[in-house]
Structure 1
């Protein structure tokens, strides 16, 4: 069968007429909820597919909703197709193969309606959905366990070191320059447009620091030769890379070699009296971020430089306190490794089932 036989596609519309912060119905785009409205277009248990932009990220919505004009609603004809079975099919299907544009990925209604879908009987569809939901629930539980372990570490940090600005334990504070070497990324004159390639050594600018993690862009990289020329700006394992403009306090510990500190970032290299992890957690702490915002210069966009960052007042806890904290972290890390291993195995099972049912 094809989509045209088993579902109806509901076009999205501009939400301005129905938008209401206190509205009863969510407004969805291809990336998720964008607001609320007083009316809806799609009924409950409809699958959202992006018409433009994010076209390969299906969303299952179990309540009535309004979809914006960049998102399609796929409503299953329930006499032949179970809505969540459609959702799992869409999760497996590669919608990018239907994209015909070069700039913004786009889908057309006519192309979607031609998609072929194998449909077992309703009872078999329900069995497949039940199996996949069961495995997905286990995966979600593992993710929740990992989140709780991360929260446990954060709580322990506050318990042992306190708020890094208030310093409730009365530990000694020192300038960051006493604990680490600080260097700004290379000036723009050292890097030119022709230096950038794909698949080389990634630059780490503020946009490549997300949620305290390094998220490099394979398209913003430099060659081995250029990387060697800029040796002074190499980032090494256990360095901290910190954005110096825009969102203050955005920083991450570097966990592997081969990165270059970007023009918009700062390199912070511990001298050994505290860990890179401790520096990162301190700088990204909410109250400390507020302090950095007050120290930053620039009327349009907050900006940091080496003199400002050097003056950051950092709590220097006694070695024995640091040791106890990292012994605790090591124990939690063991638990995280075990949970991650179970998560990876369960994800492999889910992927194999998706391939079995829809591949």
Structure 2
């Protein structure tokens, strides 16, 4: 038995026009699929394009990244809401049969490495849904299937419990920041006074398919909750943007508009430029470091500031002038660096756990 015998396996729709104004239908893209098998749907782009019904999401669809650095990552949809699935996301939709969808999900988890290896034959990893549809699914009886799913579900619950414990570390970082800097009443200064010049708006160009010889085009929707970037890598349609909006260490970006106004991104390295819904500040590194400022923007104090200072009911926004007035406690640089080192160590433990969790899932999936 092969996968396409029990599931429809095909690509999503090649959407041409996106918007970040929440107009139309939200779109599931590669960047929405997380490495832990879940799908993050809070920061979707939208489209007003009309598509065939088969490209609309269905509850318990399985989605696969078909291209890019994380080709093969898999997520299962646990929501009834309607989304449109983008082209480079593979749709695995169970046909009318008695095979549990969770069994199919774990089967695909088991083949994540295979998918990536088969996709890696060119500069930009890429795999066809037809290839995945030909994968052989083990023929086992219903009781064995149920046993496999129960074992893997149990492991997943253990992992999720551990993740909740790691979320506690995030709260610990915030509490440490308040203890070290806010409660000591360090003098506060406006962001403009801690930066070289005023805030700068990003490129207004559309995005096009990624070309590894050019910079990544960083948009609001690319920034994840932990301040890192997702895997939905694109370039600007305008080559001239590659120099005009290039990011470097010390650059700090704020989302200026939309549902995630206030979201922040501290440039961490790589060849990148920033898009128009972001505002960049070039920090004076003799006064403040980006790692310190980023943790400040994760505090409840900052979120409250965003809520009070955004304008516009239909499309909330904060402009560069307003962001420039944000008042930040300025601790001595050495204390900022000590705190940044503490955060780095905490984040290392998270990365280690993530890799260990994926290894456990992979090894246990050999039960299939």
Q: CA deviation at 1:276?
A: 0.8
What stretches of structure 2 of length at least 5 have no aligned partner?
8-37, 42-53, 64-74, 84-91, 113-132
3-state secondary structure, aligned to 2:261: coil
2:336 corresponds, among 311, 316, 322, to 322
Q: How many angstroms does 1:260 deviate by?
A: 0.9
Counterpart for residue 277 of structure 2: 264
Asked if residue 147 in structure 1 is aligned to residue 161 in structure 2, the reply is no
Match of 2:48? Answer: none
The 2-side partners of 1:310 and 1:67 are apart by: 41
Gaps of 5+ in 1: 8-29, 34-49, 95-111, 163-167
Q: Which has the larger radius of gyration?
A: 1
Q: Any residues of structure 2 matched to 1:273-292 within 5 Å, and which?
A: 273-292=287-306
Residue of structure 1 in register with 2:248 after alignment: 236
Q: Quick one: distance in 1 between partners of 2:343 and 2:40?
A: 34
Aligned length: 281
Counterparts of 1:290 and 1:320 in 2: how far apart (Å)? 28
User: Given the superposition, is the C-alpha separation of residues 261 and 85 from structure 1 closer, same or farther in structure 2, using an over 3 Å criterion?
Assistant: closer
Q: How does 1:71-220 map to 2 (within 5 A)?
A: 85=103, 88-89=106-107, 117-121=137-141, 124-125=144-145, 127-129=147-149, 131-133=151-153, 135-162=155-182, 168-181=183-196, 182-186=198-202, 188=204, 191=205, 196-199=208-211, 200-215=214-229, 217-220=232-235
What's the CA shift for 1:172?
1.0
Say which is worse superposed, 251-260 or 309-318, in terms of deviation. 309-318
Give yes or no for contact 1:269–1:276 (8 Å, CA) kept in 2: no
- Cα deviation for residue 267 of structure 1 reads 1.0
Root mean square deviation of aligned Cα: 4.6
> Aligned equivalents of 2:141 and 2:174: distance in 1?
49
- Greater relative contact order structure (CA < 8 Å, 6+ sep): 2
Tell me the distance in 1 between the aligned counterparts of 2:94 and 2:100.
Answer: 15
Report which of the two has the higher share of strand: 1
Residue pairs, 1:330-349, within 5 angstroms = 330=344, 332-333=345-346, 336-338=347-349, 340-349=351-360
Distance 2:301 2:318 in 1: 17
- Does residue 1:308 correspond to 2:322, yes or no? yes
* Aligned CA distance change for structure 1 residues 137 and 238 (closer, same or farther; 3 Å): farther
**Alpha-carbon distance between aligned partners in 2 of 1:296 and 1:32, rounded to the nearest angstrom:** 24
When the two structures are superposed, what TM-score results if normalisation uses the length of structure 1? 0.60
After alignment, is 283-292 or 129-138 more displaced? 129-138
* 1:93-121 CA distance string (max 9 Å, x none): 89xxxxxxxxxxxxxxxxx9xx9853324
CA gap 1:72/1:197 in 2 versus in 1, 3 angstroms? closer
Q: Tell me whether 260-269 or 274-283 shows the greater mean CA deviation.
A: 274-283
Instruction: Give TM-score scaled by structure 2 length.
Output: 0.58
